[in-house]
């Protein structure tokens, strides 16, 4: 029995996660919240509000198995990073390098579209020397988040923290060796899928992403004019 979902929606999940992070992250850490679109953005927005930190997006695309696109065989991120899920690939002996490259090429087009759409005229990300909090609405295999973390490592942040409302227990544990800190509010067993732990897991739209990023920019501008 899975019981009642833990979170009402991504907003509630973000509020709860923001409260937890506010006890761990100090303003002197110079935090920046990077949300993985699209589902991570409503969560990240609430975290950025709680920490009074800037919010931006980091674009990562899942590489779905042909014919079973919901099953992630890997992911790509900005900067040309590709992370493959060897455990999944071991079950797919008929999948050729050409098949994988075709999926990656298709997702690269969408990655570039989203980069241009979501980031618009924002300057290039500068995370050097900062504590980067990478946020999504949950972790199943973790391949998408791994691609993000590996790409960000190349950008010389002070520290990388992963923060999610819910995660598969094994995936949460694996990340402890891959990042400086990981916060998983809920690690249910059996896990099955991220969406099972939300009452409302409706798709986040591009319009919602734009609205939340614009709201975060306005809040940051207000904070700059009225420093604490």
Mean pLDDT for 63-89 is 85
C-alpha distance across the termini of the chain, in Å: 47
The answer to the question of residue 202 being in a domain is yes
- Sequence-ordered list of residues with C-beta below 8 angstroms from that of 201, at least 6 positions apart, any chain: 9, 137, 194, 195
Residue range(s) defining the domain that contains residue 187: 10-220
How far is 69 from 47, CA to CA, in rounded Å? 30
- Sequence-ordered list of residues with C-beta below 8 angstroms from that of 41, at least 6 positions apart, any chain: 35, 57, 204, 208, 209, 212, 213
Q: What CATH number did the domain enclosing 98 receive?
A: 3.40.50.2020
118-163 per-position pLDDT tens digit? 988 888 788 999 999 999 999 998 888 998 998 899 889 999 999 9
How far is 191 from 2, CA to CA, in rounded Å? 9
Confidence at residue 5, expressed as pLDDT on a 0 to 100 scale? 61
Quickly list DSSP for 61-94. EEEEETTEEEEEEEEEETTTEEEE-HHHHTT-TT
The answer to the question of residue 146 being in a domain is yes
The answer to the question of residue 17 being in a domain is yes
pLDDT band at 226 (very low <50, low <70, confident <90, very high): low
Residues 12 and 45: beta-carbon distance below 8 Å: no
Using alpha carbons, select from 199, 202, 201 the residue that is nearest to residue 4. Answer: 199
The answer to the question of residue 225 being in a domain is no
How far is 72 from 85, CA to CA, in rounded Å? 7
pTM of the model: 0.86
The answer to the question of residue 4 being in a domain is no
- Sequence-ordered list of residues with C-beta below 8 angstroms from that of 226, at least 6 positions apart, any chain: none
The number of domains in the chain is: 1
Distance (Å) of CA 110 to CA 35, 83, 121? 17, 17, 18
How far is 171 from 96, CA to CA, in rounded Å? 27
Q: Give residue for tokens 């899942």.
A: 62
Confidence at residue 36, expressed as pLDDT on a 0 to 100 scale? 95
The answer to the question of residue 5 being in a domain is no
The answer to the question of residue 176 being in a domain is yes
Residues 25 and 133: beta-carbon distance below 8 Å: yes
pLDDT band at 106 (very low <50, low <70, confident <90, very high): very high
């Amino acid at each position: 029995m899975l019981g009642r979902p833990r979170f009402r929606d991504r907003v509630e999940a973000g509020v709860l996660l923001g409260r937890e992070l506010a006890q761990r992250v100090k303003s002197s850490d110079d935090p920046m919240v990077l949300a993985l679109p699209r589902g991570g953005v409503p969560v990240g927005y609430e975290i950025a509000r709680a920490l009074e930190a800037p919010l931006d997006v980091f674009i990562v695309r899942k590489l779905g198995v042909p014919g079973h696109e919901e099953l992630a065989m890997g992911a790509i991120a900005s900067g040309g990073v590709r992370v493959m899920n060897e455990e999944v690939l071991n079950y797919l002996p008929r999948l050729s390098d050409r098949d994988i490259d075709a999926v990656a090429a298709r997702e690269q087009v969408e990655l570039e579209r989203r980069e241009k759409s979501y980031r618009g005229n924002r300057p290039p990300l500068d995370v050097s020397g900062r504590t980067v909090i990478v946020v999504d609405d949950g972790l199943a295999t973790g391949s998408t988040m791994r691609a993000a973390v590996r790409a960000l490592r190349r950008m010389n942040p002070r520290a990388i923290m992963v923060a999610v409302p819910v995660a598969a227990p094994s995936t949460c544990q694996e990340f402890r060796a891959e990042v400086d800190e990981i916060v998983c509010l809920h690690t249910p067993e059996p896990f099955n899928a991220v969406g099972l732990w939300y009452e409302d897991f409706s798709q986040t739209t591009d319009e919602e992403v734009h609205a939340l990023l614009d709201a975060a920019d306005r809040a940051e501008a207000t904070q700059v004019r009225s420093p604490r």
